[in-house]
Amino acid sequence: MTVDKDNWLSPTWWRQAVVYQIYPRSFADANGDGIGDLQGIISRVDYLKDLGIDAVWLSPFYPSALADGGYDVDDYRDVDPHIGSIDDFDQLVSALHQRGIKLLVDIVPNHSSNRHAWFQEALASPPQSPARDRYIFRRGTGPNHDQAPSDWKAAFGGSAWEPVGDGWFYFHIFAPEQPDWNWANPEVRQDFLTTLRFWSDHGVDGFRVDVAMALAKGFDAEQPEILPSQAEMEAVPIGPDHLLYDRDEVDEIYAGWRRVFDEYQPPRVAVAELWAEPSPRKARYATEESLGQAFFFDIVHAGFNPFKVRQTIDEVLGWSRDSGSSATWVLSNHDIVRHASRFGLPDVDSDSVWAGPDRDRHWLMTGGKEPVEDRCRGLRRARALTMFLMGLPGSLYLYQGEELGLPEVTDLPDAARQDPIFFRDRGFNVGRDGCRVPLPWTATGSSFGFGSGAAHLPQPTWFGQYAVAVESDQDDSTLNLYRQALSLRGRWQGAESLEWIETGDPQLLHFRRPGGWQVAMNFADQARPLPLAGQSISLSSWPGIETAVVEGKDDLAVGHWIPAETTYWWRDSQVS
């Protein structure tokens, strides 16, 4: 196995990289306890190599009580014993690196878990002590100080303030088990720098930064001023004046991280998780003085709508240019409904990606009832849009299982659910367990090859048909489409630019990349003529490339049809 050393040491290796997200507890279980682990990932590194990815992003693997799928971290510099050990981690780094695959790890800087040693110390210490200052504590209101300091709501439902029994409350954006750090505290800042160096010294190539824009808060919890109400707070746009999100002070935090990243060769990279309205401010997280790259989730909100897709692509490429970074394209992750299912819903143009009846996602709440999802169509559309995005300049983030075309599991029994959203937001949002069900590796067998015992989230009986072993043997499978596309994409050379070709058809998007590659996507539910001057199609997102002659139109006489909801890739014939 040889690794291209020049590219390996390049400080810009990530710009066009294909990054594969592993949610470790649901990828592969080597020790048979039902929970995916690091040895499980190690046993599948050749699968990752064959898929053709450049990097893995590993979701949290730290010790955790799993109050929020591992995003409640007990100890930032250790591995959860259910998942492995530091030694296993080192083995994983080396197994990936030997195959030329980089590793990004999740870092969760907005909050720790309530089991973190510093939070336990804070609880054991008196109000206004240095130990409490590492978190955000505030005195309760009312004559007995037993009322929450404000009516602020947590993102997962319920109050954002949790009482600790002595008249004081602590603040948490997410679950009560996830107390927010106080980033105004120098010890907190220093400790995260230590963590960044710790994992960098263990060989990680970069970080995915959880809730990257929430670290700096715009209120001093210990000052007695009256806090605004939730409604007043929400009325302020996210940005410098908002009390929680996207304040200017985050820039200084990430400038400090950048100095650490630049201590390494090649510099460590980071990608900011930013769920926010479209805003040019997002670009600053992606500059080389800051984290280097940012998730622009706008594309997941563009639905299956050609107008919104094109507009979003232009916007995102613009922000990326402004920041000097490259774009990030993503359609699925561990927080949203899998896109093969989203695109199988009747309201396919909708921008909703969350599960729950609040966004017309009633089918996800219906338990045993028949879902209205059209699986075949959802998969067809998912393959088309993924192949379209894969042709764009920028890096691509894939979520484990999307390469199998896995749909969302919508009928998990309530008793099996784990996501705090389900418990805290009941009746409103079923939560994210449906996209976190362990992967099927074989058609049959215990947990479909995930492990030797039952999986920690039950897999439906139909999972076997999506198994890696099954799809590997099918030429037309989604897995083989991803493999073929990633291998072709890896051979594209040229500048990070794109030229739109106007088709005159609002349902047909078409662009050309330097180097002669062209990509066209038909969003319509009927075939459309696509003029091709004799070129042959290199890749079609759906099996069966039609080459019918378009009757009665001389200029298209040697043209092709592009089938409904399909993407084609081809290369200019004059380019060798």
Nearer to ligand NOJ by Cβ, of 373 and 402: the residue is: 402
* Beta carbon of residue 72, minimum distance to ligand NOJ (angstroms, whole number): 8
* Beta carbon of residue 214, minimum distance to ligand NOJ (angstroms, whole number): 9
- State the Cα–Cα distance between residues 158 and 146, nearest whole angstrom: 16
Nearer to ligand NOJ by Cβ, of 196 and 387: the residue is: 196
Alpha-carbon distance values, 86 to 23, 116, 328 (Å): 18, 18, 30
Nearer to ligand NOJ by Cβ, of 174 and 466: the residue is: 174
Residue 491 in 3-state DSSP?
A: coil
Residues 264-323 that bind ligand NOJ (CB under 6 A): 273
Which of these ranges, 47-55, 66-74, 320-328, 485-493, lies near ligand NOJ under the rule CB under 6 A?
Answer: 66-74
- Per rule CB under 6 A, count of chain residues that contact ligand NOJ: 10
* Beta carbon of residue 129, minimum distance to ligand NOJ (angstroms, whole number): 26
What residues have CB less than 8 Å from 98, skipping those under 6 apart?
1, 3
- State the Cα–Cα distance between residues 387 and 138, nearest whole angstrom: 50
* Beta carbon of residue 84, minimum distance to ligand NOJ (angstroms, whole number): 20
- State the Cα–Cα distance between residues 250 and 213, nearest whole angstrom: 7
**Which strand (E) or helix (H) includes residue 489?**
helix 478-490
- State the Cα–Cα distance between residues 225 and 220, nearest whole angstrom: 9
Nearer to ligand NOJ by Cβ, of 54 and 68: the residue is: 68
- According to the binding rule CB under 6 A, does residue 245 interact with ligand NOJ? no
Residue 185 · residue 134 · CB < 8 Å: yes
Nearer to ligand NOJ by Cβ, of 250 and 521: the residue is: 250
Residue 461 in 3-state DSSP?
A: helix
- Quick one: which of 68, 74, 315, 471 contacts ligand NOJ (CB under 6 A)? 68
Nearer to ligand NOJ by Cβ, of 210 and 315: the residue is: 210
Nearer to ligand NOJ by Cβ, of 213 and 406: the residue is: 213
Residue 471: which of 459, 483, 461, 460 has the closest Cα?
A: 483
DSSP assignment of 407-446? PP-----GGG---HHHHHSTTT---SGGG-SPPP-SSSSG
* Beta carbon of residue 8, minimum distance to ligand NOJ (angstroms, whole number): 28
Which of these ranges, 13-21, 68-76, 93-101, 118-126, lies near ligand NOJ under the rule CB under 6 A?
Answer: 68-76
Locus of tokens 């009482």: 163
Nearer to ligand NOJ by Cβ, of 189 and 436: the residue is: 436
* Beta carbon of residue 334, minimum distance to ligand NOJ (angstroms, whole number): 6
What residues have CB less than 8 Å from 344, skipping those under 6 apart?
373, 374, 375, 376, 377, 378, 379, 381, 407
- According to the binding rule CB under 6 A, does residue 74 interact with ligand NOJ? no
- According to the binding rule CB under 6 A, does residue 174 interact with ligand NOJ? yes
Residues 101-160 that bind ligand NOJ (CB under 6 A): 108
- Quick one: which of 74, 335, 408, 565 contacts ligand NOJ (CB under 6 A)? 335
Cis peptide before 266 (omega within 30 of 0): yes
Instruction: DSSP letter for 281, please.
Output: G
Nearer to ligand NOJ by Cβ, of 335 and 403: the residue is: 335
Which of these ranges, 63-71, 144-152, 497-505, 534-542, lies near ligand NOJ under the rule CB under 6 A?
Answer: 63-71
Residue 304 · residue 349 · CB < 8 Å: yes
Residue 378's CB is within 10 A of a number of other CB atoms, namely 23
Nearer to ligand NOJ by Cβ, of 356 and 449: the residue is: 356
Task: Return the ∠ at Cα 530 (arms to 526 and 534), rounded to 5°.
Answer: 140
* Beta carbon of residue 233, minimum distance to ligand NOJ (angstroms, whole number): 19
Which of these ranges, 65-73, 355-363, 403-411, 552-560, lies near ligand NOJ under the rule CB under 6 A?
Answer: 65-73
480, with CB counted inside 10 A (0-12, 13-18, 19+), is middle
Residues 196-215 that bind ligand NOJ (CB under 6 A): 210-211
The residue of the chain with the least Cβ separation from ligand NOJ equals 71
- According to the binding rule CB under 6 A, does residue 71 interact with ligand NOJ? yes
- According to the binding rule CB under 6 A, does residue 61 interact with ligand NOJ? no
* Beta carbon of residue 275, minimum distance to ligand NOJ (angstroms, whole number): 8
Task: Return the ∠ at Cα 374 (arms to 373 and 379), rounded to 5°.
Answer: 110
* Beta carbon of residue 207, minimum distance to ligand NOJ (angstroms, whole number): 13
Residues found near ligand NOJ in the complex (CB under 6 A): 68-69, 71, 108, 174, 210-211, 273, 334-335
